[in-house]
Amino acid sequence: MVKFLTSATRPEHYPATGLPEIAFYGKSNTGKSTLINQVVRRKDLVKTGSRPGMTQLINFFQVEEDYVLADLPGYGYAKVPEAIRKGFKPMIDEYFLTRETLKLVLLLLDVRRTPGDSEREIVAMLASRHIKTALVITKADKVSGNELVKQVKLIAAAFGLPAGDFVVTSSLAKKGISELHTLIRSSI
Ligand code: GDP
């Protein structure tokens, strides 16, 4: 069973289950909500495609008695008012800095987008804090086979990493979901 625990902006409001935690993070519209629903096998646990970038809270869910799933607000949505956008970074930074139960961050990357400084900064920040990070390419069904290989290489090159370091997924085609399950199981 999957259940919503709470929404929070500050550490004192994070849930205190003591369970290991897995965080999902990515630019707005990267397919995060859809992927979370796939991973926990629930159609509508997290609302998809709605008011992108406006979620200002970290949403916590408990998956079985196994782990807590943290849905971090998507970053980089242009239409978010400046004041809200400014509030995001400290909140996310504080989460990564203080969340002792955090075992793995899934950083989601849209297959059609070449990652830039924001993504490189996030990866460097997580590495500097010794937080295990999985780089997850989303919406793989949006491109054809050849294009997919090319895009994965491009994305990998943007990080200076080998293509094999990336988990390629598609919520629509249910691709890569079992790999994510394996990754989560081995991290909790
Ligand atoms: P979020 O803002 O990162 O939570 O993104 P959403 O999960 O709301 O998805 C944004 C848009 O991309 C929606 O229109 C989804 O239907 C679409 N989408 C999400 N995942 C996939 C996928 O695997 N394949 C395709 N083709 N579209 C997807």
Q: Is 55 in the pocket of ligand 1 (CB under 6 A)?
A: no
- Measured from the Cβ of residue 160, the count of other Cβ atoms closer than 10 Å reads 7
Report the pLDDT averaged over residues 126-134.
Answer: 96
For 64, the token pair is 């079985």
The model's pTM is 0.94
Kindly report the CA angle at 42 between 67 and 96, in degrees rounded to 5?
40
Which residue stretches of 2-144 are H helix? Answer: 32-39, 82-98, 117-128
pLDDT at 55: 59
**Is the C-alpha dihedral spanning 33, 66, 123, 115 positive or negative?**
negative
Cα–Cα dist 177/181, whole Å: 6
- Give me the phi and psi of 113, to 5 degrees please: -120, 135
Q: Is 48 in the pocket of ligand 1 (CB under 6 A)?
A: yes
Cα–Cα dist 34/49, whole Å: 8
Q: What pLDDT band is residue 176 in, cutting at 50, 70 and 90? A: very high
89 pLDDT exceeds 90?
no
Q: Is 113 in the pocket of ligand 1 (CB under 6 A)?
A: no
Check: CB of residue 154 under 8 Å from CB of residue 113. no
Cα–Cα dist 40/96, whole Å: 23
Helix (H, G, I), strand (E, B) or coil at 81: coil
Of 15-19, 80-84, 147-151, 156-160, minimum mean pLDDT range: 80-84
Q: What pLDDT band is residue 50 in, cutting at 50, 70 and 90? A: low
CA of 48 to the centre of ligand 1 (A): 7
Q: Hey, which of 27, 34, 108 would you mutate to test ligand 1's pocket, going by the most ligand atoms within 8 Å of its Cβ?
A: 34
Q: What pLDDT band is residue 45 in, cutting at 50, 70 and 90? A: confident
Atom of ligand 1 nearest to the CA of 142: 26
pLDDT in tens, 154-170: 999 999 999 999 999 99
Cα–Cα distances (Å) from 95 to 90, 147, 159, in that order, read 8, 36, 23
pLDDT in tens, 105-118: 999 999 999 999 98
Which residue stretches of the chain are H helix? Answer: 32-39, 82-98, 117-128, 145-159, 177-187
Q: Is 34 in the pocket of ligand 1 (CB under 6 A)?
A: yes
Tokens 């203080």 — which residue?
A: 98
